[in-house]
């Protein structure tokens, strides 16, 4: 009997994603990683959804022809965002570590070192990869706002909040990097351009 149960446990663990249609959310609730259920419009689920959307937008960006160092950075970020989603799925858990934040800061500094100093605000655009990066940046900022709202209701780890803030800065820098890689400069904002 115990061997049968062990085999069933192994099968369940090995195929944990084999059943996608569960019907358990039909009543408007969803399960968290700790086994509890919450409404699909809760702050926590909204924030998890924002992280998922951000990760998906990076997946679309990765379909573009990108410099190898940008591609590596974005793939690492996608893994971090899955870590963040796991943290959000387990209330009270802290998964994002200071080392992940430090890595983002190092990447941002390295890419920014080769860019000319900005004297004007820039418009989101230029090359397609740069424009997609700016879309990811704005999703990242929205994700950060969701995390702040969630943190005001129930505590989130400080590293998770710092990570998402650093990521939006890095995505801004990468937008500039990708315009240069595509042979374009920054698209500069012209104050009052259409006011006259």
Strand, helix or coil at 78? helix
Q: What is the pLDDT of residue 40?
A: 64
Q: What is the pLDDT of residue 11?
A: 44
Query: Quick check: is 71 in a domain?
Result: yes
Range of the domain at 120: 33-181
Query: Quick check: is 188 in a domain?
Result: no
pLDDT tens-digit map of 56-115: 999 999 999 999 999 999 999 999 999 999 999 888 889 999 999 999 999 999 999 999
Radius of gyration of the chain, Cα coordinates, nearest whole angstrom: 20
Nearest partner of 96 among 169, 171, 166, 163, judged by Cα: 163
Q: What is the pLDDT of residue 127?
A: 97
CATH number, residue 69: 1.20.1200.10
Query: Quick check: is 1 in a domain?
Result: no
Query: Quick check: is 138 in a domain?
Result: yes
pLDDT tens-digit map of 23-48: 655 667 666 667 667 666 789 889 99
Q: What is the pLDDT of residue 1?
A: 44
pLDDT tens-digit map of 137-162: 999 999 999 999 999 999 899 999 99
Tokens 């190898």 belong to 68
pLDDT tens-digit map of 168-195: 999 999 999 999 999 999 998 988 888 8
Query: Quick check: is 174 in a domain?
Result: yes
Task: Please tell me the distance from the alpha carbon of residue 195 to that of residue 119, in angstroms, as a whole number.
Answer: 21
Confidence band of 22 (pLDDT split at 50, 70, 90) = low
**Does residue 165 surpass a pLDDT of 50?**
yes
Task: Please tell me the distance from the alpha carbon of residue 128 to that of residue 178, in angstroms, as a whole number.
Answer: 9
Say how far residue 187 (Cα) sits from the centre of its chain: 25
Query: Quick check: is 161 in a domain?
Result: yes
Q: What is the pLDDT of residue 193?
A: 86
As for how many domains the chain has, the answer is 1
Q: Going by C-beta distance under 8 Å and a sequence separation of 6 or more, which residues neighbour residue 136? A: 54, 57, 58, 61, 171
- What number of helices (H) and strands (E) belong to the chain? 6, 2
Q: What is the pLDDT of residue 38?
A: 62
Asked whether the whole model's pTM tops 0.95, one would answer: no
Query: Quick check: is 124 in a domain?
Result: yes
Contact indicator for 80, 160 with CB cutoff of 8 Å: no
Q: What is the pLDDT of residue 114?
A: 92
Strand, helix or coil at 37? strand
Query: Quick check: is 16 in a domain?
Result: no
């Amino acid at each position: 009997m115990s061997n049968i149960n062990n085999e069933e446990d192994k099968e369940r663990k090995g195929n944990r994603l084999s059943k996608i249609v569960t019907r358990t959310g039909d009543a408007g609730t969803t399960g968290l990683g700790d086994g509890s259920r919450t409404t699909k419009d809760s702050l926590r689920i909204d924030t998890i959804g924002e992280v998922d959307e951000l990760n998906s937008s990076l997946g679309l960006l990765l379909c573009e022809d990108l410099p190898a160092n940008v591609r590596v950075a974005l793939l690492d970020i996608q893994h971090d965002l899955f870590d963040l989603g796991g943290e959000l799925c387990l209330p009270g858990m802290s998964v994002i570590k200071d080392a992940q934040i430090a890595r983002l800061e190092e990447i941002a500094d390295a890419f920014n070192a080769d860019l000319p100093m900005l004297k004007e605000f820039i418009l989101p655009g230029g090359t397609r990869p740069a424009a997609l990066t700016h879309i990811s940046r704005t999703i990242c900022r929205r994700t950060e706002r969701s995390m702040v709202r969630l943190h005001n209701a129930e505590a989130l780890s400080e590293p998770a909040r710092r990570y998402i803030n650093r990521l939006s800065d890095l995505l801004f820098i990468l937008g500039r990097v990708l315009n240069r890689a595509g042979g374009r400069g920054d698209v500069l904002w012209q104050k009052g351009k259409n006011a006259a």
